[in-house]
Each structure stands twice: as structure tokens, then as C-alpha cells.
């Protein structure tokens, strides 16, 4: 784990649909507030006016049939803007960054789910991010049926949520494989448990961090 409390940290939250990222974001913010840490909260795709417009394009119905390569490049176009306009400036000013999804989502969804070439994704990552990587990533992990059931109760499915279980099983497997490759950065949280239990797992990670 990158424990360097005198440096602003770049924290990302990852996981498949409905695992509880939005629900736990508020809890993470309360931990940062409690520790008196200055931070910004942001999300992907999105985080800038252009990024939010691209989010609507990516998640909505208007361009439902876009090619997988187009989808990949729009994710990175939104990310390039986000990194240049929001993430790098915040870190340079000493603010921590709390981001709902980042490049691990691209590996999981476009690489795992859509089965695009991982090396191509790595090439785009290097081009767009240079040496910028999250310091800590919380991976909320739960079986696909649990996430689907939770997400289904909440709202109409977006373009990704309409994918089949096989897609989301590949997404989950890709996330878990990445966590295995980078155990210091990616902390797996068992999100199938109740919210109190999930939050105590998150607190344990933050107790080591703050
Ligand atoms: N995407 C994104 C890519 O394909 N490539 C990329 O590079 C990027 C950046 C973004 C979509 O874009 C894709 C991935 C996504 O499909 P999104 O809105 O960020 O969309 O992601 P979603 O996963 O769709 O977010 P959701 O809001 O659906 O899921 P959350 O935030 O994980 O779940 P949340 O917190 O809304 O919880 C869902 C329900 O479950 C309950 C909550 O109360 C809520 O009702 N809940 C629990 N219930 C019981 N026990 C728990 N532990 C619970 N935790 C939450």
C-alpha cells in the first residue's frame, strides 16, 4: 500500500454494476472529512463538462450500436480531459482525489467484458496518463447476480447494464485478476456482505492509510 500521508493520494473506487460504489462513497467521504483531509470527489466517465457529455453518449440509448473501439476511445477521450483539467491540478495543489471508477474499469469492461486487446488499452493508458496511476483502489466485489439484483431495484438499466451475465462475469474476473497482480494497490472488499460489514472493511483500509 502506498502509505504516504504527507502526499495527496489518488483513490479510486471500482467494481461491477450495483456493488455499492455510490453507497460507500459517502462513507469514504466521512472518513476523509473526519481526518481533516482536503479532497475532491469526481467520477468516470465524466468529471468535466466534456466528460459528462461523453458519459451521456456512452451510457445512453442514442448511439447504442457504437463499435467497441469507439467506446474504448471515448472512455479515454473523457479520461484525457478529466486528468488534464481536474485530477492533475487537484493533486498538484495538494488535494486528495476520490474518483468513482478509473482505468481499471476500462480493463474490466472494454478488456474483459468486450474482449478488446489488453495491450491496446495499456498503450492508451500510457499515452493518456503518463506515469499517473491511482495510489489506492478499493475493489468492491460481489457475485454478478447480487450486483444485478441491487442495481435492478434502483433505476432503468443503462447501455452497459443491458449486457448479459457472461459479460459481467468477465468484468468481475478481470478485476479480480488485476487485484491479484497488484495487491498493494488494489484492495478487494467483499461487497456481498451487508453495508455495515462492507464499511468496516473499508475503514480497515483507511486506518492503514490515514
Ligand atoms: N465504464 C466506465 C466502462 O465501461 N469503462 C470505463 O472506463 C468506465 C470509467 C458507469 C458505466 O460505465 C462503464 C461501467 C459502468 O457500466 P456508473 O454509474 O459509474 O456507470 O456505474 P454503475 O456500476 O452502473 O453504478 P451503480 O450506481 O449502478 O452501482 P453502484 O454505485 O456500485 O451501486 P449503488 O451504491 O448505487 O447501490 C445499488 C443498490 O444496492 C444497495 C444500494 O442501497 C442501492 O439501492 N446496496 C446494498 N444493499 C445491500 N447490501 C449492501 N452492502 C449494499 N450496497 C449497496
How confident is the prediction along the chain (210 residues), in pLDDT tens digits per residue? 444 457 999 999 999 999 999 999 999 999 999 999 999 999 999 999 999 999 999 999 999 999 999 999 999 999 999 999 999 999 999 999 999 999 999 999 999 999 999 999 999 999 999 999 999 999 999 999 999 888 877 677 888 888 889 999 999 999 999 999 999 999 999 999 999 999 999 999 999 988
Task: Render pLDDT for 83-94 as a digit per residue (tens, 0 to 9).
Answer: 999 999 999 999
Among all chains, which residue has been given the C-alpha cell 502509505? 3
Number of the ligand 1 atom closest to the C-alpha atom of 193: 52
Number of the ligand 1 atom closest to the C-alpha atom of 154: 45
Beta bridge partners of 188: 139
Residues with CB under 6 A from ligand 1: 15, 17-23, 44-45, 59, 75, 100-101, 105-106, 109-110, 150-151, 153-154, 160, 191, 194-195, 198
pLDDT for res 3: 46
Q: Is the torsion defined by CA of 34, 37, 43, 47 positive or negative?
A: positive
| 19 CA distance to ligand 1 middle (Å) | 6
Q: How far is 13 from 203, CA to CA, in rounded Å? A: 14
pLDDT for res 1: 43
Residue range 10-209 forms a domain whose CATH class is alpha beta
pLDDT for res 2: 44
In a mutational test of the pocket of ligand 1, which residue from 14, 15, 21, 69 has the highest number of ligand atoms less than 8 Å from its CB?
21
| 151 CA distance to ligand 1 middle (Å) | 7
- The residues spanned by each domain of the chain are 10-209
Amino acid at each position: 500500500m502506498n502509505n504516504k500521508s504527507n502526499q495527496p493520494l489518488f483513490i479510486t473506487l471500482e467494481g461491477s454494476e450495483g456493488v455499492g460504489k455510490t453507497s460507500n462513497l459517502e462513507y469514504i467521504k466521512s472518513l476523509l472529512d473526519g481526518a481533516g483531509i482536503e479532497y475532491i470527489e469526481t467520477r468516470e466517465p465524466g468529471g468535466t463538462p466534456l466528460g459528462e457529455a461523453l458519459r451521456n453518449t456512452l451510457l445512453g440509448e442514442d448511439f447504442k450500436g457504437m463499435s467497441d473501439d469507439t467506446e474504448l476511445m471515448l472512455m479515454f477521450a473523457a479520461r484525457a480531459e478529466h486528468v488534464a483539467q481536474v485530477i492533475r491540478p487537484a493533486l498538484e495543489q495538494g488535494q486528495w482525489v476520490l474518483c468513482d471508477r478509473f482505468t481499471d474499469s476500462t480493463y474490466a469492461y472494454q478488456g474483459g467484458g468486450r474482449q478488446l486487446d489488453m495491450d491496446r488499452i495499456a498503450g492508451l493508458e500510457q499515452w493518456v496518463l503518463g506515469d499517473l496511476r491511482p495510489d489506492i483502489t478499493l475493489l468492491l466485489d460481489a457475485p454478478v447476480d447480487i450486483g444485478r439484483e441491487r442495481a435492478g431495484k434502483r433505476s432503468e438499466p443503462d447501455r452497459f447494464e443491458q449486457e448479459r451475465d457472461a459479460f459481467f462475469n468477465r468484468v468481475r474476473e478481470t478485476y479480480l485478476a488485476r487485484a491479484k497482480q497488484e495487491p498493494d494497490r488494489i484492495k478487494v472488499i467483499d461487497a456481498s456482505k451487508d453495508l455495515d460489514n462492507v464499511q468496516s472493511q473499508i475503514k480497515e483500509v483507511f486506518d492503514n492509510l490515514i
